[in-house]
Structure 1
Amino acid sequence: MSDSKTHLLGNEDPIDPPPAYDSTTGKPMRGLLPRPPPLSLPYLNDLRTKRVILASQSPRRRQIMSYLGLPNLEIIPSNAEEDLPKSLGPFEYVLATATKKAQAVYAQEADNEERGEPALILAADTIVVDLQAGAILEKPRSEAHHLAMLRGLRDAGTHKVFTALVAMAPLASARVPGYAIETVVEETDVRFDPEVSDELITAYVRTREGADKAGGYGLQGLGSILVEKIDGSYDNVIGMPLKATLKLIEKVLAKADDEGSLPDDMVGSEGEDDM
C-alpha cells in the first residue's frame, strides 16, 4: 500500500482533490466548515485511542467524519472493482458495492503488523437514481455526459439519492468469522428546479464542481442552485449521513463486544433490520 492511499486525519484539515473528470488536473481546493468540539460519547471516546479506517477517498466523507474527533482516523480507499451489475437494482447495488469496499479493506488491514488490527472500518457508496429513465447515475465521464446527466435530472423532476454505509469491527471473542458487520441504506428525494435553464446548467458544469460526484452536482456547494427541495437527509446527498453513521458505529461496536454474550447467528451477518 502506497503512502498516497493512506492518510491520517488527526488535526489536519481535509483537502478537496481537483474537480476534474480525469482527477489529474487543476489545483487542490480547500472546502472547510467550522469543526465543532468532539462529541463525548463512550463508544467514540474509546475509538479515539484506537485505529479507525474510512475506506473512502471522498473529501466530503472525510470532512463529515472529521466532526467526530477521531485522531487516529486513517483514509484507506478500497481497491475493489466497482463492477457489480446495475441490474441488481439501486438498493441492492449500492449496498453490495459498499459491502465490497469494506470487506476488501478489512482483508487488507486485519493482519497489519505495523499498525495493528483496526477497531473499526467504515465504507460508503452513494448513487443517484433518475426515476424517469430508471438509471443509476454515478460520476460523469465527460463534460458532454455531465451536461446530459443534469438536464435529465432537471427534466425528470424528482430523483433519489441512496447512500449505503457498512461498518466492520473485530470480534472480541475472535470467533468465526472474526468480525461483526452492520449495514444501513439511507434514501433522500431531491427535486431539481424545473425552471433551471440550459445556460445555467452549462455554466455550472464548467465550474467542474460536480465532476467528481455521483449525479454530477454538489448540494453543499454551487450545485444547490439547481435544487428546488429535498425530502430526507441533507448529508445523505453529500455522501455520509452523520446520524445514521453514529448509530451504525455504536451498533457494530456493541455487536463486536461479544465475549459470551451473543449466539453465533448474531455476528458476521449484515444488519437486515437496518435496511
Structure 2
Amino acid sequence: MSDSKQSLLNFSPADPSDPPPAYDPTGTTPQSTKRLSLPRPPPLNLPVLTTLRSQRVILASASPRRRQILSQLGLPNLEVIPSNTPEDFPKTMEPFEYVLATATEKAQAVYRQEIQNEARGEPGLILAADTIIVDTSAGRILEKPRSEADHWAMLRALRDAGHHKVYTAMCAMAPLVSARDPGYALETALEETDVKFDQGVSDEMLLAYVKTREGADKAGGYGLQGLGSILVERIEGSWDNVVGLPLRAALQLMERVVAKADDDDRLSGGEEDLSEDEEE
C-alpha cells in the first residue's frame, strides 16, 4: 500500500464530538448538524392523501432518507416503526425476488404488531421498503458495508464494473373496510435504476470518501444525495430510487392499496348482482 493510502487509513475525525456512524446494519447516521431547509409548497390535494391525513400512516423503516422523502406528501400522522425481522433471505435468489420478499416481510411484521395495538388504533396504511445494489458484473447483491475495508472494496468493485443496478421494492398494506379474510389489502412495487460510476475515480478519492463515513449505513456504500454524487457519472431511471424511496412509485402504490382496501361497495355490489341472478 502506498504512503498516501496508509495515511488515509490512519485518518481520525477532526471533531471527536461528532463521531461517524458505526458499521452496523441497524445503525443510522447521527444527525448532529442542522441543514437549511426551504419553505415547502402546500400539500398535494389528492383523494388518497386527504384520506390518509386523518389516519395513522406507518413507515416500516428506520431510514431517515425514506422518512424525509415520504414527508413531502404532508401526512401529519406519519409514524416510523422499523421492522425487527432479520433480513436473511438467501442471496442466491434473483435480486428482484430478494428485495420484494424483504420489503413484504418488513410490512407484514409491523402489521402483525400494530393490528393488536389497541391504544393507538388500527393503522390506515403501512409502507415498507428495501433497497439493494446489484453488481451486475459479478452477479452479486450488495447491501451495507460491514467494515471500513469492506466499504473500500465495495466501492472499488462498483467503480471497476462501471455499471450497477439499484432495486427498491416497496410493500403497502391497508386494512380491508369489509374486514373479511385475510383482513388487509397488500400491494407491491419494484423500481430499477441503472447507475454508471465514474471509472476515472482514483483509489485515493475512494478512500477519502470512505473516511467521511457518509456511505457506511447505505446499500452499496455511497449516498447519491450527498458527497457520493462525485463518484457517479450518470443514472438512468429514478433518482430518489437510488436514495431509497421512489416517491412517484410510492404514491401510485399507496393509491392502489387504499382503493383495494375499500372493498365494501364492490362486495355489496357483487352480492346484489348474485341475488338478481337467483331471482331470474
Q: State the match for 1:65 in structure 2.
A: 70
Instruction: Name the SS for the 1:88 alignment partner.
Output: coil
One-letter amino acid of the counterpart of residue 223, structure 2: G
Distance in 1 between residues matched to 2:169 and 2:36, nearest whole Å: 24
**Among candidates 20, 23, 26, match of residue 21 of structure 1:** 23
Instruction: Name the SS for the 1:203 alignment partner.
Output: helix
- CA deviations over 1:123-178 (Å, ceiling 9, x no partner): 00000000111110000000000000000000000000000010000000001000
Please say if residues 20 and 212 of structure 2, whose CA atoms lie closer than 8 Å, have aligned partners that are also in contact: no
Percent identity between the aligned chains? 72
Extract unaligned runs of 5+ from structure 1: 1-16, 264-275
Which of the pair has more CA radius of gyration?
A: 2
Q: State the match for 2:202 in structure 1.
A: 197
Q: TM-score, normalised by structure 1?
A: 0.86
The structure with the largest helix share of the pair is: 2
Q: State the match for 1:14 in structure 2.
A: none
Q: State the match for 1:268 in structure 2.
A: none
Q: 1:85 to 1:262 in 2, by over 3 A?
A: farther
One-letter amino acid of the counterpart of residue 32, structure 2: P
Q: State the match for 2:216 in structure 1.
A: 211
Q: 1:25 to 1:108 in 2, by over 3 A?
A: closer
What is the CA-CA distance between 1:19 and the residue it aligns to?
2.8
One-letter amino acid of the counterpart of residue 22, structure 2: A
Q: State the match for 2:122 in structure 1.
A: 117
What is the CA-CA distance between 1:24 and the residue it aligns to?
8.0
Q: 1:24 to 1:39 in 2, by over 3 A?
A: closer
Residue 148 of structure 2 corresponds to residue 143 of structure 1:
yes
Between 17-26 and 154-163, report the one with greater CA deviation.
Answer: 17-26
Instruction: Name the SS for the 2:73 alignment partner.
Output: coil
Residue 179 of structure 2 corresponds to residue 177 of structure 1:
no
Distance in 1 between residues matched to 2:223 and 2:180, nearest whole Å: 43
One-letter amino acid of the counterpart of residue 258, structure 1: D
Instruction: Name the SS for the 2:216 alignment partner.
Output: coil
Q: State the match for 2:235 in structure 1.
A: 230
Distance in 2 between residues matched to 1:100 and 1:18, nearest whole Å: 30
Please say if residues 36 and 67 of structure 1, whose CA atoms lie closer than 8 Å, have aligned partners that are also in contact: no
Distance in 2 between residues matched to 1:120 and 1:247, nearest whole Å: 13
One-letter amino acid of the counterpart of residue 150, structure 2: H
One-letter amino acid of the counterpart of residue 139, structure 2: G
What is the CA-CA distance between 1:21 and the residue it aligns to?
1.2
- RMSD over aligned Cα atoms: 1.8
Extract unaligned runs of 5+ from structure 2: 1-18, 269-280
Q: 1:24 to 1:227 in 2, by over 3 A?
A: closer
